[in-house]
Structure formats: structure tokens, C-alpha cells
Chains A and B, each alone.
Chain A
Amino acid sequence: EPEVTQTPSHQVTQMGQEVILRCVPISNHLYFYWYRQILGQKVEFLVSFYNNEISEKSEIFDDQFSVERPDGSNFTLKIRSTKLEDSAMYFCASRRSRQGDDEQYFGPGTRLTVT
């Protein structure tokens, strides 16, 4: 069964450094998402991406964040200058673009630790 994959599973970085989190969505899906979950808190939407551009973003997704689909398979989230409060699990999700089917499937996540 196709699944969303993410790399790395765990990233440790120092405050102020740039990180890139990678995702490979399910191959026939057209909508891609990033969510984050700070330890002990709820899953929060960051950004959605469709047709090679951002379609929606939350207040969390400020100028420090960017997303890109550099090729036909990868979908990346870049954090330019990490802060301690960026420590969280980051989940990629994807969805087919099909009438009446809004199901999103999540990858295993990347645990980001900023020290």
C-alpha cells in the first residue's frame, strides 16, 4: 500500500541553523501539507501546497518557513533560522484531488530538536 515517507526521522540542530525536512507524498496525490505537533500539544496546520504553489498557510508559517517541490517526488519544508520553540514533530501529509474524498494520509514524521 502506498505511503508517505519522511526523512530524516530525527534531526538535531543548533539554534539559528537552517534545516530542511523532506517528504515523499503518495504518488497520485496532488495536495501536500505540513503539520507540526509540539510535545504534549495538538497537531497544528502549517501550510498546504497544490499545483506548485502555496494554497493556504497558518499564522505559524512565517517568513522563517518555506516549502518547495524541487522535483516530481520530493516535498520539502525549510526553516531558515531555527528557534528553540521550533522543536516539535513535523508531519507531512498528502491528499488526492478527487470529489468527495478529502482523506489525508500522514507520514511517520521528523522529530526536530533545536538546542
Chain B
Amino acid sequence: QKEVEQNSGPLSVPEGAIASLNCTYSDRGSQSFFWYRQYSGKSPELIMSIYSNGDKEDGRFTAQLNKASQYVSLLIRDSQPSDSATYLCAVNKGSARQLTFGSGTQLTVLP
């Protein structure tokens, strides 16, 4: 079983719609969860962190965490073409809190 799994996509949504991205993880001891956005050829950019069960909202982004189901999701409301990117789910582990990444979901927002 992969440590962090994401649907690779591609996921296409029309401009203004809600994009829903999902991630599952295998290590029940994981404490911290992150969503990064990566444009082609660029570095991962942190967009959300979530540490406890429930929802966390930041502007158009909402992260949801369910530790019992080992599931993390990211909702993007009012999607814009500039949101088109690969979204990486990451979980930290170990004493150094190093990140384990999923393979990413490619999102395309169609104008």
C-alpha cells in the first residue's frame, strides 16, 4: 500500500465550479497534513496545512481531515484558470517531520 495516495487525474472543472481533491494515507500515527500546489517546472507551494479533524478554511480553499478514515481532502471554490496545476498531498512523519508526498492530482480549470 502506498503511503500517500491521490487520484492522478487529470481532473477538469469549468471556471467558477468547485474542485474536489482527495488523498488517503496509510500511517495512522501521522499528525500533520498539507496541500501543496505545483505548477509545471516549479517548486511545491504550500497552500494549506491541517492538524486536527474537521474543516479548515482559507479564502477559496477548504481542507478537510478525517483521521479515522485516514482521509484528507481539498476543496477549491470558484475555481479559476490560474488554479490549473498539480496538487500534492503531503503527510509528515519521523522525528524530523519530513514530508511524504502523494503523486499529485493534475487539475485543469476550463475558461
Contacts and interface: CB of A to CB of B under 8 A. Distances in A.
Interface stretch (B9-17, B54-62, B67-75, B96-104): B96-104
A115 B65 CA distance: 44
B49 A102 contact: yes
A104 to B, nearest CB: 6
Interface stretch (A12-20, A40-48, A67-75, A79-87): A40-48
Contact of B43 (A48, A55, A95, A108): A108
B97 A106 contact: no
Nearest to A39: B41
Interface residues of B, number: 25
Contacts of B92: 102
A109 interface: yes
Nearest to A92: B43
A109 B96 contact: no
A36 B88 CA distance: 14
Contacts of A103: 34, 46, 49
Interface in B35-87: 36, 42-46, 49, 51
Interface of B: 31-32, 34, 36, 42-46, 49, 51, 88, 90, 92, 94-104
Interface of A: 31, 33, 35, 41-45, 48, 50, 55-56, 58, 89, 91, 93, 95, 100, 102-109
